[in-house]
Amino acid sequence: MSPFNLETCARSNILALEPYRCARDDYKDDGTNILLDANENACGPSLTPSAVAAASTGSGVEIDFLGLHRYPDPHQRDLKQLLCNLRNTHAHTDKSITPDNLFVGVGSDEAIDALLRCFCVPGKDRILVCPPTYGMYSVSAQVNDVGIVKVPLLPAPEFGLDVAKIQEALSTEPNVKMAYFCSPGNPTGSVLAKDDIKKILEHPTWNGIVVLDEAYVDFAPEGSSLAEWVAEWPNLVVMQTLSKAFGMAGIRLGAAFAAPPVARLLNSLKAPYNISSPTSALATYVVSDDGLAAMRKNMDRLVRQRDRLLEELPKIKGVGRLRGGIESNFLLFEMLNAEGKPDNRVALAVYETLAENKGVVVRFRGKEHGCLGCLRITVGTEDEVTRFLQAIEQALAEVNGGSTQAPADEAKKETAANGVVA
């Protein structure tokens, strides 16, 4: 077992935090109370009846627009219970997680930042990341003046964890408080091996937190999520979001599953009312039975288009190998030069040609570790995939056919491809 000790791992000032409390935590409102405790506007929201009717029509979701003058529920236990119901699959443990295992925030990004503030002393502590991976781990670390230790993933196409080097880094690098892993990976699309995560959780000397980012886990095979595993491991945090499979990026709802002591720390330092009432209502709907049915129907549509891209892209001249896995709603493919080799200049030129001339925006990923010449392509609708396939074939033909560029543009492409230009 891990030597994890929350009392010595978390920051002392966070351990001493008393969470913000309001009068309604002590005196529950049954709907009959006169609420004069929170300095709200008792006259109601600045919405006309027609605006309320327009916002309510046809949504199928019960949102109390006339109640927007009241602060939202600071605890969100009903929503948390639905998230627990979704992840209590018992594929990894006989134990069940409860709302006490959950923090909900403004996307996964709030959880990423909150964990840093819980466990990392600015200017002293560090986190471990495994590139290529999601960029916000490093951005949030920099914002919080937290150092970064990098242990690259194993080479493509597997992009697995290099467990031996990670274990060595956790044994020898000072002041590493957390390790952030992404599964399925972004931009790799590969699910990390459960046994590899277990080995890191069992590190014999490291007193730290393993953070597993499962933003894309619903695109992976059933049973891939390790969210319920936090009932077994006090040093595991599993982050998820409604932005991807649930198609709710606009409401910015993320969750972090953790052992109750860790979840309590996260909930103690959050803003008192970080989840708005409309966000809560919409999130509650999409993880209900009706919402889950709609999500799975859309998932089936996306998987069909993902399979179509996997079949059609390799047929296009200039498209190279698939790098990474297919357990996500995106694919990572090489772009080849006229000699048939992956090439950042070609990938960057195709990326720009698609966006500027074809009206199709993908993501250039060639500067990331192990992703030479790669574009990350999000799976779209049937019509969007049709348009993309036509556009990328044309773009590759234009780029590899030697279309002329002004010298200044060529210089710009050269420096960007080499990582000089962000």
The predicted-structure confidence for 190-229, as pLDDT tens digits, reads as follows 999 999 999 999 999 999 999 999 999 999 999 999 999 9
- What integer pLDDT is reported at residue 64 of this predicted model? 79
Helix orientation angle between 344-357 and 407-417, rounded to the nearest 10 degrees: 120
Q: If DSSP states are collapsed to H, E and C, what string results for 65-119? A: HHHCCCCCCCCCHHHHHHHHHHHCCCCCCCCCCCHHHEEEEEHHHHHHHHHHHHH
Q: Are 161 and 128 in contact (CB under 8 A)?
A: no
Residue 185's pLDDT band, with cuts at 50, 70 and 90, is very high
The mean pLDDT value for 403-409 works out to 40
Residues whose CB is less than 8 angstroms from the CB of residue 12 and which lie 6 or more positions away in sequence, other chains included: none
**β-strands 363-364, 330-335: how paired?**
unpaired
The mean pLDDT value for 92-107 works out to 97
CA angle 314, 318, 321 (to 5 degrees): 45
What distance in Å separates the CA atoms of residue 185 and residue 331, rounded to the nearest whole number? 11
Structure tokens at 184: 């399925």
- In this structure, the number of other CB atoms found within 10 A of the CB of residue 317 comes to 10
Which domains are present in the chain? 6-22+71-287 (3.40.640.10), 293-417 (3.90.1150.10)
The mean pLDDT value for 66-90 works out to 94
Q: Look at the block and give the residue holding tokens 């891209």.
A: 309
pLDDT tens digits along 263-316:
999 999 999 999 999 999 999 999 999 999 999 999 999 999 999 999 999 999
What distance in Å separates the CA atoms of residue 221 and residue 141, rounded to the nearest whole number? 31
Tell whether the model's pLDDT for residue 150 goes beyond 50: yes
Tell whether the model's pLDDT for residue 415 goes beyond 90: no
For residue 258, give the nearest of 233, 284, 294 by alpha carbon.
Answer: 233
What distance in Å separates the CA atoms of residue 225 and residue 133, rounded to the nearest whole number? 18
- What integer pLDDT is reported at residue 23 of this predicted model? 79
The mean pLDDT value for 99-123 works out to 97
For residue 308, give the nearest of 379, 246, 394 by alpha carbon.
Answer: 379
Residues whose CB is less than 8 angstroms from the CB of residue 91 and which lie 6 or more positions away in sequence, other chains included: 223, 228
Q: Look at the block and give the residue holding tokens 């009068």.
A: 23
The three-class DSSP label of residue 330 is strand
Structure tokens at 24: 């309604």
Cα-only R_g, the chain: 24
Tell whether the model's pLDDT for residue 66 goes beyond 90: no
Residue 410's pLDDT band, with cuts at 50, 70 and 90, is very low
What distance in Å separates the CA atoms of residue 195 and residue 151, rounded to the nearest whole number? 18
Q: Look at the block and give the residue holding tokens 């709302």.
A: 99
Q: How far is CA 320 from CA 146, 314, 315, 338, in A?
A: 38, 7, 9, 12
Entry field: residues in the chain: 422
- What integer pLDDT is reported at residue 43 of this predicted model? 82
383: left (phi over 0), alpha (psi -120 to 50) or beta: alpha
What distance in Å separates the CA atoms of residue 115 and residue 269, rounded to the nearest whole number? 10
**β-strands 236-241, 209-213: how paired?**
parallel
The amino acid sitting at 67 is: G
The mean pLDDT value for 4-19 works out to 93
Q: How much of the chain is helix, strand and coil, in % rounded to 5?
A: 40, 15, 45
Burial class (CB in 10 A: 0-12, 13-18, 19+), 377: buried
pTM, entire model: 0.91
For residue 130, give the nearest of 107, 111, 110, 148 by alpha carbon.
Answer: 148
* DSSP codes of every residue in 162-201: -HHHHHHHHHHSTTEEEEEEESS-TTT--PPPHHHHHHHH
Q: How far is CA 69 from CA 41, 52, 76, 139, in A?
A: 6, 13, 18, 35
Tell whether the model's pLDDT for residue 188 goes beyond 80: yes
